Amino acid sequence: MTLDILIATYRRPDLLQRTLDSILRTPAPPELDWGVIVVDNNSRDSTGELVASYEARFGGRLRYVVETKQGLSHVRNAGIAASTADIVATIDDDEELCETWFSSLHAAFSDPTLDYIGGPYHPRWETPPPDWLPVEGYAGVVGVVDSGPEARDYGPGFNAAPVGGNSAFRRRLFEKIGPYDPALGRTNQGLLSCEDHDLFLRLQAAGLRGRYLPDFGILHWIPNTRMTGAYHREWVFWRAVSAVSLPREEGVVHLFGVPRYYFGEAVRRSARWITSGFSQRYALLAQLYWIEIAGRIHGQLRASR
């Protein structure tokens, strides 16, 4: 079995160094022939020199690719195009592998019926987080992903999806469903997202089998800049704008192009904030639901233009 680990990076050589160190120290089964492809999205800093300094330590397992088109989806697509391995795994430059990452991946893909996997993001906080983090239902804003201690297949009855910062796929499936959508995903111009959800919907539509594995985990660096209400509001707004590009949920009633349940949740969360005595913990949560609504409406207007 061959594996290429694709690392998306943009102007964070200090964090990338931690990522590369973590790969080197994580034990891998001898049957797994792995390599690393660092895809740099026009960093114009010391990233190239950093990667070059690690070439000897990786013993021919490390490659460096520059993607000139700005955006996370372009970066991941460039890594997939550069790979020749059976399996491609996607991680980011602010992550470190957990000890069981390689062994969990190898065991999973030893099952020929499995097409893709995802795993948890364990937080590595820059400083202890405030008591209101993570926000209920919005842990993904800061990058905490945990779908529980049990391995489960993605699909009906399991409200989860693999996230691009820690997932792996049989490379051949991209020939069937296509690459990441470059119209979605973060760029240096903003916090657009939903590229992972779009890919997941296509995986499901193609009848491909995926599995969540709690041992396939990474440590995710969460800086202080993400531990603010302002960051949450911006992230949720642009995620809502991006969501307009996805197919509508079947059987869901929409109001002004927004799933109607968002309005009900916004009212309930606002009431909870008021009855709590205007607690800061509930204030942000109430705001985020209204921001979801505003973002969806903005996204539709933007698309129509």
Q: What is the pLDDT of residues 83-108, one digit of tens each?
A: 999 999 999 999 999 999 999 999 99
Rounded Cα gap, residues 250 and 240, in angstroms: 18
- The model's pLDDT over 157-208, given as tens digits with 9 standing for 90+, comes to 998 999 999 999 999 999 999 999 998 887 765 667 889 999 999 999 999 9
Whole-angstrom distance, CA of residue 24 vs CA of residue 48? 18
- Residue 169, CA distances (Å) to 91, 173, 210, 255 in order: 12, 7, 9, 37
What are the sequence ranges of the domains in the chain?
A: 2-225, 248-304
| Cα 234–Cα 236–Cα 237 angle in degrees, nearest 5 | 65
Q: What is the pLDDT of residue 191?
A: 66
| Upstream peptide bond of 134 is cis (omega within 30 degrees of 0) | yes
DSSP run (H or E) holding 2: strand 2-9
Contacts of residue 293, defined as CB under 8 A and 6 or more positions apart, other chains included, come to: 240, 258, 262, 263, 266
Q: Mean pLDDT by 10-residue block, N- to C-terminus, for the chain (305 residues)?
A: 98 97 98 98 95 98 97 96 98 98 98 98 96 87 94 94 96 96 77 87 96 98 96 94 84 86 91 86 88 93 78
User: Which DSSP string corresponds to 192-234?
Assistant: ---HHHHHHHHHHHTT--EEE-TTS-EEEEE-GGGSSHHHHHH
Matching residue, tokens 């979801």: 292
- Please give the pLDDT value at position 204: 95
pLDDT of 27: 98
Q: 106: which 2 tokens?
A: 């190898």
Phi, psi of 117 (to 5 degrees): -140, 160
Q: What is the pTM for the complete model shown?
A: 0.92
pLDDT of residue 251: 77
Domain 2-225 has CATH 1.10.10.10: no
